Structure 1
Amino acid sequence: MYESYYGFKEKPFQLSPDPRFFFASNHHQRALSYLQYGLDQGEGFIVITGPIGTGKTTIARNLLNNINDANIVAVQLVTTILNPHELLALVAAEFQIEVEGSSKAELLQGIEQFLIRLNQQGKRALLIVDEAQNLPSETVEELRMLSNFQLDNKPLIQSFLLGQEELKGIIQAPDMEQFRQRIIASAHLKPLSEAEVKEYIDHRLQQANCNKEHVFDEGAYAVIHDKTGGVPRKINIFVDRILLFGFLEDLNVIDVEAVNQVAEEMEIELTGSLHAKPISESTATQTITTEIEAASLDSIKSTLKEVEDILDTTIKEKVKMARYVDKLLKQKNKELSQSK
C-alpha cells in the first residue's frame, strides 16, 4: 500500500514481533542484558515483566535469534492457563520428546532422560515461557521442580519467564518463597519516553530501508507519544495508520495536524458507534414519546448534533476509501503499462 509511496522495502510497523526491528531502549537493553547474563550463568530463573505491548516477546525472540551457542537447545512456550500436568506435556511436545505414556510420572521421566542425553552431548536446555502471568502458582512451582533436574551438580534445564504485571503478584505470594530464591535476575519493562518514541520510529523506518530524509515533522513525534503512552505495540498500530493516511492524502511529510486527525478518526472508530437493544414496536413508540416529553430542546439538539457528526465522519470515511481504491487502481495500471 503505502510502502512504495514512502520508499519502504517492507512495512516498518507490523504487529508481529521481528528481531530485526528490535529497539534497545534503556529498559529493554537492561532486560536483554539480564537475559544474556542468565544465559551465561546456565542456572536459575530470569523474570521479565511489563505492561501489555511493551516488547517482552520481541526481547525473547531477539535473544533466541542471537544465540550463537550451538550447545543451547531453546524452545519458547506461549502459555495459557495450564495445570502442572498440561505444562509438562507442552514442554515435552516443544522439545519433541517421545514419551511412552501420558501420566505425569512418565512425562517427568521422559523429560529427565532427554535432558541427560543433552548433557552427555555437551548441550543444555533453555525454556522460555511467554505470557507466564497465565500460569497458576502450582504450575509455576512445577517449573521450579524441573530446575531440580541436575547431573554432577549442574542444572540440566534453565527457564526464563516473561509476563504481564500480574506475574509479579504470583511470584510474590507467600507460598512462592522457594521459587523466589531461584530467581537470579529480574527486570520490569516500561513504556518509551518521548525522546525514545522518536528514536523508535526512526529506527523502524531505517530498518525498512526508508529512502526519505524526513517522513515525520519534528512536532509529530510528541503527539504520537502522547496518544500512545509510549507503548511500542500501540505505536505500531497508530503509526501504521498514520502512514496509510499520509499515502491517501499525498503527504510528503506528516505533520501534527495529520497525526491529530488520524487519532480523532481512530477514537471515533473505537468508541463512536451507536449501540441499541432490540425492542418491540409498541415499547419503542412509548419510549420515544416519553423521552421526547421529558427531554429539553437543548438535549434534543445535542443528540441530533452527535448523529450529524457520526454521519459526517462515515461519509468522509466512504470518500476516503473510494479515493484509496482509485489510487490503487491507478498504481496498478501504471505498473502494467511499465511492464509492457
Structure 2
Amino acid sequence: MYKAFYGLSYDPFLKSIETKDYFKSQDFKGALSRLEFLKNINGFGLVTGEPGVGKSFLLRCFVDSLNPNLFKPVYIPISTLTVMDFYRALCNGLGIIPAYKKILMFKQIQESIYTYQHSKNITPVIIVDEAQFLTNSVLDDLRLIFNFEMDSKDYAILILSGQTPFISQISRQPHEALRQRIVVNFHLTGLTKDETKEYIKSRLKLAGCFDQIFTDSAYELLYSSTNGSIRTLNSLVRMCLISGANEKLKSIDNELVFMAQNELNIVA
C-alpha cells in the first residue's frame, strides 16, 4: 500500500539491494579503497564496525568487483565454528574435498592456495564475516594457514570482518603475531547527519519517488535515532512510510518518526 501511495516501484530500503546501487558515503568509499589497495598487494585486512553500519554489504560490493579470472572469493559468513569446522568450510570454498584429519586439511588448503596462485594465476580471497565469534584456536591457526616460505610471500588475501569488540580481541598478546600481519585496517562508523538525509533521498529516487516526503525535523530525528546504522535506518524509514500511507500523509514530520520509533522499540 505505501509503495503505491508514495509512487515507489519497489521497496528501496530492503537489505538485498544491488551492489551497483550502493550509497557512496565517505565511510564506505574509504573502506572500499582500502580493500582495493589490499587487492593489489595481498595479505591480511581487518574491517570493523557496530552492527548495521554496512560491513557485510561492503564485502559483497568488494566481491562483486573482483575479476573472476584473477580472484577466487571464499566467503565464510558465520564464524561460530570449531577449528575443524573452519577448515572444512575453507576446503569447501576452495573446491577441495576435506580430509578427515586437521593436519591433512591444513596441507590441502596450503597446496590449493599455492596452486591457485602459481598454476592458475588466481589469488584466493578468503573473507571471514562475524569474526568476533572466532575462537582463539581458529585465530591461532589463521596465521599458520597463510604462512608460506617463511612469511616472505602472501599468496592469498584474508579479510576479517567483525563488530567493534573484535578490535580488543585481536589486540591481545596471544594474537600479536596475527595482528602484525594486518596491512589494511578500517573501522566503519556509519552515516553522518548529512549522509542520512542524502541516503534516504537517493533510495527514494532510485525507486521512482522524487517528492520531498520527509521534513527537515524528520531527518534530524531519523539521524539521532539510528546513530549511523543503515540497517536501523532502513527499518525506521520503512515504518514511517507505512504509517504515513495509512494516515494519507504526503509529508512525514518528526512526530510520525517518533511514533514509528516507538513502534519499532528503537532507543535513541
Normalising by structure 1, we get a TM-score of: 0.73
Counterpart position of 2:30: 30
Which residue is 2:127 aligned to?
128
Partner residue of 1:58? 57
* Cα distance per residue 1:295-324 (max 9 Å; x no partner): xxxxxxxxxxxxxxxxxxxxxxxxxxxxxx
Taking the aligned partners of 1:173 and 1:118, their CA distance within structure 2 comes to 33
Q: Contact 1:47–1:161 (CA<8 Å) still a contact in 2?
A: yes
Looking at structure 2, the residues matched to 108 and 148 of structure 1 have their Cα atoms a distance apart, in angstroms, of 11
Q: Tell me how far apart the structure 1 counterparts of residues 110 and 239 of structure 2 sit (CA, whole Å).
A: 49
Q: Which has the higher contact order (CA 8 A, sep 6+)?
A: 2
Where does residue 175 of structure 1 map in the other structure?
174
1:69: how far off? 5.5
The ranges of structure 1 where at least 4 consecutive aligned residues each deviate by more than 4 angstroms after the TM superposition are 150-153
1:81 alignment counterpart: 80
CA distance in 1, matches of 2:146, 2:95: 19
Closer, same or farther: CA 4–153 of 1 in aligned 2, 3 Å: same
| Percent of pairs with identical residues | 29
Describe the shift of the 1:147–1:207 C-alpha distance in structure 2 as closer, same or farther (beyond 3 A).
farther
Structure 2 unaligned segments of length 5 or more: list them: none
| 1:258 alignment partner in structure 2 | 256
Corresponding letter in the other structure for 1:24: K
- Structure 1 unpaired stretches of 5+: 272-340
User: Whose helix fraction is larger, Structure 1's or Structure 2's?
Assistant: 1
Deviation at 1:138, TM superposition (A): 2.2
Whole-Å Cα distance in 2 between the matches of residues 204 and 226 of structure 1?
19
After superposition, the Cα gap between the structure-2 partners of 1:137 and 1:17, relative to the gap in structure 1 and judged at 3 Å, is farther
Partner letter of residue 29 of structure 1? K
Q: 1:206 to 1:140 in 2, by over 3 A?
A: farther
> What residue is the counterpart of 1:19 in the other structure?
19
Q: 1:239-296: CA deviations, max 9, x gaps? A: 11111111211122222222222223333xx89xxxxxxxxxxxxxxxxxxxxxxxxx
Structure 1 residue 202: Cα displacement:
1.5
* 1:137–1:170 CA contact under 8 A, matched in 2: no
**TM-aligned CA deviation for residue 147 of structure 1:** 1.4
Contact 1:17 1:57 in 2 (8 A): no
What amino acid is aligned across from residue 146 of structure 2 in structure 1? Answer: S
Displacement of 1:81 in angstroms is 2.2
Q: Give a deviation string over 1:151-188, Cα, whole Å, max 9, x none.
A: 99542222001000121112100111111111101011
- For the pair 1:40 / 2:6, whether they are aligned, the reply is no
8 Å CA contact retained: 1:81, 1:135: yes
User: Is 1:102 matched with 2:95?
Assistant: no
Residues 193-225 of structure 1 deviation map (CA, whole Å, 9 limit, x = unaligned): 2111101112222232x2333122222110111
State the match for 2:200 in structure 1. Answer: 201
Equivalent position SS for 1:237: helix
Q: Could you say what secondary structure the match of 2:160 adopts? A: strand
Three-state SS of the structure 1 residue aligned to 2:23 is coil
Q: Equivalent residue for 1:90? A: 89
Relative to structure 1, is the Cα distance of residues 180 and 232 closer, same or farther in structure 2, using a 3 angstrom cutoff? same
- Contact conserved, 1:18 with 1:58, CA < 8 A, in 2? no
Q: 1:105 and 1:152 mapped to 2: Cα distance?
A: 19
Q: Label 1:257 to 1:146 Cα distance change in 2 as closer, same or farther (>3 A).
A: same
- CA drift at 1:18: 4.4
Relative to structure 1, is the Cα distance of residues 152 and 140 closer, same or farther in structure 2, using a 3 angstrom cutoff?
A: closer
Q: 2:224 maps to what in 1?
A: 226
Q: State the AA in 2 paired with 1:111.
A: I
> Secondary structure of 1:185's partner?
strand
Match of 2:236 in 1: 238
TM-score (ref. length: structure 2): 0.91
